[in-house]
Amino acid sequence: MPLVVALIGIAVLLLLIIVFRLNAFISFVIVSLVVGLGQGMPLDQVASSIQAGIGNTLGFLIIILGFGAMLGKLVADSGAAQRITTSLVDLFGVKNIQWALVLTGFIVGIPMFYSVGFVILVPLVFAVAQTTRLPLLYVGLPMLASLSVTHGYLPPHPAPSAIAVMFDADLGLTLIYGVVAAIPAIILAGPLFSRTLKRINPTPPKDIFDLTPIPEEELPSLWISIVTALFPLVLIGSSAVLQLLLPEGNTLRLISSYWGNPLLAMLLSVLVAIYTLGIQRGKSMDDVMKSLVQAVSGITMILLIIGGAGALKQTLTDSGVSEYIGEILKGSSLSPLLLAWCIAAAIRVSVGSATVAGLTTAGIILPILSTTTVSGELMVLAIGSGSLMFSHVNDSGFWMFKEYFNLTMKETLSTWTVMETIVSVTGLVSVLILQNFI
């Protein structure tokens, strides 16, 4: 019976999102009620589970994602993303233009949500393509592959951060393993795959192509732009490395545990950005604060969706469904990492949202972690890579790419969809390889 209830719950979730186009947060709450009541829980207990699930999930994440949104907004508004792009293109030259854009996508993708990074960087890609007279997809896909991978694999992005919290995975290690898995995925899906697409050379829409960049003299320096954008990665990543290399009781190891705490790392990063990309460049504190308010208002729905997924996870746990599913999956001969990837991929193809796919899978797969030696950090990456699988017409990212690059439906399927699939499959392979060394 618990398995039937879980399957009905997932079916209702897909039905509400796909057929009725209901908001994902509302859908998660409705399905939480369906699962709880279907398992015979009293209504007041179901309500308590929903409340606890939302609170427990968002308690830590709301700080990380809030600071992340603020940092991304400052990087975008200041022109730091534009500076990074133009400087790296000049540094690498036309011959290595793809690698410049890969690096740009990765650097900008760390602090910035995917859709924001896409809108900020794509016009710059158009300008690079026009200046170098190279095919648009040849220069565009490497950057988008980097953006996609950082969105799906790496904290402080919403889904990886939320799943890491659910699995009690170390964010620093998740970040390090994620970077290792990201490298082959980006190379295969970006520079290598785009070289096979020279026959497709679209012309971008005129109104997008003519977006006016920030004047050169108003841009921050390259050094300031890169350091500020990557500050969270430097703090969290260096701390995780020192925790692995230094013995217990070492003073530097202890100090690094403070600066590597995700909350403190993100707070310090925002404070640095307020100065380097705001105050130092002549902006008033009032203007900077207005920008931060706009940043936080833009992630409200993301936070609600994550909270809704937490409600479903808690209801599955409190109703006994998670324990029942865990007992069934214990007998499976399939690798837990592969199983998690398959579930995330199936939900992604059905729903379209990588965030919804990742968070839903985390709730389903959570009971397995207590019965296996699989690393929680690798499980985060397995789900993250699965959640990027086969993006198609039910994914907003698919339509953004199609419209901005002025492609036909067939061309979008043969470029964007294949790129996302390569990212997903390569991520899984990397995770399975990493499992042998961790």
- Taking only the tens place, the pLDDT of each residue in 232-269 is 888 988 888 898 888 888 999 999 999 988 889 999 99
- What SS3 class is residue 334? coil
Q: DSSP for 200-252?
A: ------HHHHTPPPPPGGGSPPHHHHHHHHHHHHHHHHHHHHHHHHSPTT-HH
189-198, 199-208, 279-288: which range is least confident on average? 199-208
Element (H, E) at 3: helix 2-14
Give exposure, 199-228, as e/b (b: 16+ Cβ within 10 Å): ebebebeeeebeeeeeeeeebbebebbbeb
* Helix/strand/coil percentages in the chain, nearest 5: 80, 0, 20
For the entire predicted model, the pTM comes to 0.79
Distance of CA 237 to the CA centre of its chain: 17
Q: In terms of pLDDT, which residue wins out, 351 or 102?
A: 102
- Tell me the C-alpha distance between 58 and 79, whole Å: 31
- Tell me the C-alpha distance between 131 and 125, whole Å: 10
- Taking only the tens place, the pLDDT of each residue in 60-109 is 778 888 898 899 889 888 988 888 888 888 889 988 999 999 999 999 88
* Rg of the Cα atoms in the chain: 22
- Tell me the C-alpha distance between 202 and 204, whole Å: 6
DSSP state of 112: S
Q: What pLDDT is recorded for position 195?
A: 92
**Average pLDDT value for residue range 413-423:** 96
Using alpha carbons only, give the angle 79, 83, 89 rounded to the nearest 5 degrees: 150
Q: What pLDDT is recorded for position 326?
A: 66
Residue spans of the domains in the chain: they are 2-437
Query: Which stretch, 116-120, 270-274, 370-374, has highest mean pLDDT?
Result: 270-274
Q: In terms of pLDDT, which residue wins out, 188 or 226?
A: 188
**Residue 211 pLDDT greater than 60, yes or no:** no
Using alpha carbons only, give the angle 382, 378, 241 rounded to the nearest 5 degrees: 140
Calculate what percentage of the chain has a pLDDT beyond 90: 45
Distance in angstroms between the alpha carbons of the first and the last residue of the chain: 37
Calculate what percentage of the chain has a pLDDT beyond 70: 96
